[in-house]
Structure 1
Amino acid sequence: MRRLGSVQQKMPCVFLTEVKEEPSRKRDCQQFQVVATENVNPRALESNIDCALATEKLDGTCCYVSLYNGEPYLWARLDRKPNKQADKRFKKFHHSRKSCKEFTWNVEEDFRNVPDSWIPAHGVQHHNGQPVPDENGHIPGWVPVEKNNKQYCWHSSVVNYDAGIALVLRPGSDDSELLEVAAVPLSELLEQTLELIGTNVNANPYGLGCKKQPIHVLVPHGIIRIRNAPAVHYQQLTDWFQGCAEGKVEGIVWHCNDGMLVKLHRHHLGLKWPVGDTFLNKRPVVIRVNWVTYELDVGSEDLFVSFTNLNGRCFDCIKDVHFET
């Protein structure tokens, strides 16, 4: 699997897009929609999109594994955003129909404070030693998920730094349809980005766990392959999303041979998300977590312990995984 590093810049859409002055289907506070045209993006054509690997775009929150104080750590996505005064100026400039690239930022004064441990994502441009905001006025970046941090409690639930492991959902090695929840060494995930999905993330479109017994897992980006992806054609992709069981996904990310990543979200085609029964819940899953081998003193409510109690069990889908009370 291709390592993605910490690059989590805005991926281009596989089609050229246009802006409609209608409320966004994806973001409640956004008073416009970005929709796909029927023209394939020249950047995708240059990267030979027809030979790219198509993977499922998952609906969660982005994470990153890298070293922190010399040890493998999970990092949470945290974009630096403008303060109220700077944001007001930026929006006024944007509504004047001028190019956002022409707006002048003062990074030291215009942006909200972030923790000292914050780092910008790889790929963020710098000017005079300062990171350059993207077209939305944000600076993508990361903060380490430290122990007992209540702000990132769901991130914390899927890692144990004493054992150096993380809870990961991935394809099983012995069956093309089978998924597995496994305890994976953080050292094996270094410099990869992953998606945190679960009960308390993005309204839980995959139906994992419940309020009383929340379930969260990490999914490495690019690991859930789409086996029968349609051709990169507007109508064929629209029909696939609407009429195919495998098309009940949030979107597609194509991994091109030259390293280019290209995406398509359902909302680019004016299609609804979430859908009732996602394709992720069409696949059986087996639990391969054996906490006993680590001999650590943990509480009975620990997610690793709960999964250990199900070790070796197989379920029809990840949504069916529940812990015994």
Structure 2
Amino acid sequence: MRRLGSVQQKVPCVFLTEVRNEPSRKRDCQQFQVVATENVNPAALESDIHCAVATEKIDGTCCYVTTYKGEPYLWARLDRKPTKQADKRFKKHQYLQKTCKGFVWNVDEDFREVPESWIAAHRVQHENGHPVPDEHGHIPGWVPVDHTNKQYCWHTSVVNYDSAVALVLKTHGEDEGLLEIVSIPLADLMEQTLELIGTNVNGNPYGLGSKKYPVHVLVPHGVLRIRNPPPVDFQQLYSWFQECQEGRVEGIVWHCDDGTLIKIHRHHLGLKWPVGDSFLNTRPVVVHVDEKPDPDASEKDLFKSFSSINGKLFSCIQDIQFEP
């Protein structure tokens, strides 16, 4: 199986979009929403979207594995965002012009500071040696996940830097209908992007774990392929999300042969997310984690917890619980 594209930039919608003057279904404080038209995005056609690999869009927070201080490391997504005043100007322009394009930024003054270890994402444009924002007003980037930073405690729960491994949810090598949770060397994940999902991420749309015993895992982008994807047609996609069990997902990401990524989100079609009984929770999952945890590790150490149920098969990932 070829490695599919990594998520470094904002992924465009498969359809051309328009801004409507009504509250966003996706962001509570946003007084407009971006919706899909029925016109296929020319960028999707140029990348031969009809021959692309369709995969499930996973609702979590984006991560990246690359080198830090000479070792494979997990990095968290940290976009450099505008200050409040600059963002107000940008939102006003977007509201009045019905587009993000044409807004002029002062990069030195309009953007918040980021840690020294921050790096810009791949393909971010630079001017005079400095990264510049994309059309959405962000400068995509990454920051290394350190155990000393409590802001990233859920990220650090899925990596063990002493053993240089990560907890990953993927399809089973011999049965695509079966999921498995495994510990994978970080070196094997180099230059890949993944989605961190779990109890304390994005409102936990998949219902994983509990407050007392949280469950988190990394899901490599592109690993959950859609077996019977609908055609790239507005009405057929709308019906698929509404009527098919496999359509009970946040969205679709198409991985094109030229490396381009294209997506559709349920919100683009005016459909709600999350939904009960998501497709992810219809698939059985087996645990293959046999790590030797630090004897001084907390009872809530995820590697220790998953090792205690090594070899067990569950009807779905939501059924995995660590309560004694």
TM-score by length of 1: 0.95
Percent identity between the two aligned chains: 70
Q: Residues 101-120 of structure 1 correspond to what in structure 2 (within 5 A)?
A: 101-120=101-120
State how 1:167-246 maps to structure 2 within 5 Å.
167-246=167-246
CA distance in 2, matches of 1:278, 1:99: 33
1:279 maps to 279
Larger deviation, residues 100-109 vs 127-136: 100-109
Alignment of 1:305-316 (within 5 A): 305-316=304-315
Match of 1:303 in 2: 302
CA contact (8 A) 2:4 2:255 kept: no
SS in 1 for 2:97: coil
Segment of structure 1 superposing worse, 132-141 or 87-96: 87-96
2:27 corresponds in structure 1 to 27
Report what 1:321 is aligned to.
320
Which residue of structure 2 aligns with residue 154 of structure 1?
Answer: 154
| Match status 1:128 vs 2:128 | yes
Tell me the distance in 2 between the aligned counterparts of 1:53 and 1:91. 34
Structure 1 unaligned blocks of 5 or more? none
Aligned residue runs from structure 1 range 289-300, under 5 A:
289-292=289-292, 297-300=296-299
Q: Confirm or deny: 8 A CA contact 2:169 2:181 kept in the other structure.
A: yes
Q: Is the 8 A contact 2:4 2:259 kept in 1?
A: no
What residue in structure 2 maps to residue 50 of structure 1? 50
**Alpha-carbon distance, 1:132 to partner:** 0.9
The 5-angstrom pairing of residues 262-273 of structure 1 reads 262-273=262-273
TM-score (norm 2): 0.96
Tell whether the 8 Å contact from 2:213 to 2:323 is kept in structure 1 after alignment: no
Contact 1:4 1:191 in 2 (8 A): no
Separation (CA, whole Å) in 1 of partners of 2:100 and 2:251 = 27
Displacement of 1:137 after TM fit? 1.5
Task: Give the Cα–Cα distance (whole angstroms) in 1 for the partners of residues 229 and 288 of structure 2.
Answer: 29
Per the alignment, in what secondary structure is the counterpart of residue 170 of structure 2?
A: strand
How big is each residue's C-alpha offset from its partner over 1:153-184, in whole Å with a ceiling of 9 and x where there is no partner? 00000000000000000001121211000000
Name the stretch that deviates more: 81-90 or 303-312.
81-90
Q: How far apart are residue 98 of structure 1 and its match?
A: 8.0
Alpha-carbon distance in 2 for matches of 1:95, 1:226? 36
Describe the superposition over 1:172-218 as per-residue Cα deviations: whole angstroms up to 9, x where unpaired: 11212110000000000000000000001111110100101000000
- Report the AA paired with residue 154 of structure 1: W
Partner of 1:102, secondary structure, is coil
1:26-76 deviations in whole A, cap 9, x for unaligned?
111111111111111111112111111000000000000000000000000
Give the superposition deviation at 1:2.
2.0
Separation in 2, partners of 1:215, 1:123? 33
Q: How far off its partner does 1:81 sit?
A: 1.0
CA distance in 2, matches of 1:98, 1:316: 46
Please give the secondary structure, in 2, of the residue aligned with 1:242: helix
The CA distance in 2 between the partners of 1:165 and 1:72, in whole Å, is: 9
What is the alpha-carbon distance in structure 2 between the residues aligned to residue 189 and residue 44 of structure 1?
A: 27
Could you say which residue in structure 2 is the equivalent of 1:63?
63
Q: Does the 8 A contact of 2:5 with 2:255 survive in 1?
A: no
Provide the rounded CA distance (Å) in 2 between the counterparts of 1:180 and 1:119: 32
Range with bigger deviation, 40-49 or 300-309 = 40-49
Answer with 221-230 or 16-25: which moved more: 16-25
| Matched residues, number | 323
Confirm or deny: 8 A CA contact 2:64 2:75 kept in the other structure: yes
Say whether the 8 Å CA contact 2:245–2:279 is kept in structure 1.
yes
Question: Deviation string for 1:240-293 (max 9, x for gaps)?
Answer: 10010000000000111111111000011111110000000010000000112x
CA contact (8 A) 2:55 2:252 kept: yes
- For the aligned residue pairs, the C-alpha RMSD in angstroms reads 1.5
